[in-house]
Amino acid sequence: MHKPWRAAPHPRRSIRDFHRAHYGNPLFNRQKTTHRTERSGPSRAPWFLACLVVAALIGGAWYLLWGPMFHITTVEVSGVTGPSADAIRAGIDSHRNGAALFIFPRSNILIFNTTKALTDIGGKVYLDSITLRKKLPDTLEVIAREKTTHAALDWNSRLFALDENGFILRELTDKEIALMGDLPPGMAAVPVLGLGAQSIDLPKTDTPPTTTDGAKGTVAAPPPQQPTNPFPLILIDGKEKEGSATEKNMMPGKAMVSPATMRTILQAHARLPEVAGSAVRWFRAQESSETVEADMVGDWHILLATASPFDVQVERLSIVLKEKIGAKKSVLEYVDLRYNERIFFRLKDGTTPK
C-alpha cells in the first residue's frame, strides 16, 4: 500500500541580520572599518573657521564705526547765513566731538543723534524752525529759518541779540559788536583794523553849533547826529543783575524783556530822532518794570510808559519841546511822559523853563 504523496518539507529559515554586511544592506557602510585611519586628536578645522568669522566681524564693525566711509565730513546749512549759520555749525561740532556710551564716536553718521544735536544747537541760537537730516554716507543737511535781530541787550558787558518779543536769539559776534557805534561807558567795542589804514578821532563838542537867522537872531541848531547803533541797545538796570538767576541762564530762547517793553523801544528808536531832534543812544529797562528810559544824544533823557499808547506820548513830547523847552534843549535834563494828566520836565541847573 502506497503512502499518499506529500510535498517535501521546506528547510527552516534562519533569522537573518538585516544589518550585516553580507546581506547587502544599501544603508550599511560598505567601507570596512579596518581600513579607517584613527586620528590622534580632535579636528582643528571648526576652530579655525570660527576665528576667521570673529575676525571678520570685528574688522567690519571697526570699519563701520571708526573707518572713514561714514565719518561726517560735510555740513550743509540752508535758510540762514552769517552768525546764525555759524552758531548752528558750532552746535553740531559740539555734539559730534563727543562719544556715545564713552566709546563710540558721534562723528560717525550712523551713531550721530539728531535729537541731541538739535538740543546743542538750541543752546547757541534761537531759531524760528530747524530740521536736521542725515545723508549717507558722510553729510548732514540742516534747513533752518532764523528770527530777525531787532535789538541788542547788554548784560554784564555781554551783548545778546533779541527778537521783536524780547527773547534772546544768540550772543553777538565780535564783528557785530564792532559795528556798534555807541556803547555805554566801560564797554569797549572790538576794534576794527584796516590793512595799512590810518585813522583819527573826531573832536567832540559839548555845545551844539549855532546858526544865524537875520530876522530871529542866533538860534541853536539841532545837535549833531552821533554815530548810532544799527539797532536799539537795551541796558538792564544793575540792581536787577545782582543775584539774579537769569545771569546764570542766559540761554537762547530766554525772555529778557516783555513784548510791551520791546514794542515801546522799537517805536521810540524809530520816531524819537525825528520828534526830539536827537538820536537815541540806548534804552534803560528792567525785567519787571513798565518804564523805559531813552538816553538821547546831548545827555538828556525821556521817560516812557509801556502801558500808554506811544503815539500819545510822542505827541505830548513834541508839544513840550516846542512850547516849553525851545532853545534851552541843550540844558535839558529829562522829560517824563509816563503820566497822562501831567508832563514833568527839568533843566540841568534844576530850574523849570517858563
Q: pLDDT tens for residues 116-144?
A: 999 999 999 999 999 999 999 999 999 99
Output the pLDDT for position 217.
Answer: 47
Output the pLDDT for position 65.
Answer: 77
Q: How far, in Å, CA of 126 to CA of 167, rounded?
A: 8
The DSSP string of 239-269 is: HHHTT-GGGG---TT-B-S-HHHHHHHHHHH
Q: What is the pLDDT of residues 284-342, one digit of tens each?
A: 987 667 899 999 998 999 999 999 999 999 999 999 999 988 888 889 999 999 998 88
Q: What is the CATH number that goes with domain 74-146?
A: 3.10.20.310
CA torsion sign for 103, 107, 108, 110 is positive
Beta pairing partners, 212: 218
Low-confidence residues of the chain: pLDDT under 70: 1-44, 188-227, 237-248, 287-288, 350-354
- Domain boundaries in the chain? 74-146, 151-185+212-347
Q: How far, in Å, CA of 121 to CA of 252, rounded?
A: 10
Output the pLDDT for position 59.
Answer: 75
pTM higher than 0.75 = no
Contacts of 158-165 with CB under 8 Å at 24 or more apart are 158/250, 160/250, 160/256, 162/234, 162/256, 162/257, 162/262, 163/126, 164/259, 164/262, 164/266, 165/255, 165/259, 165/262
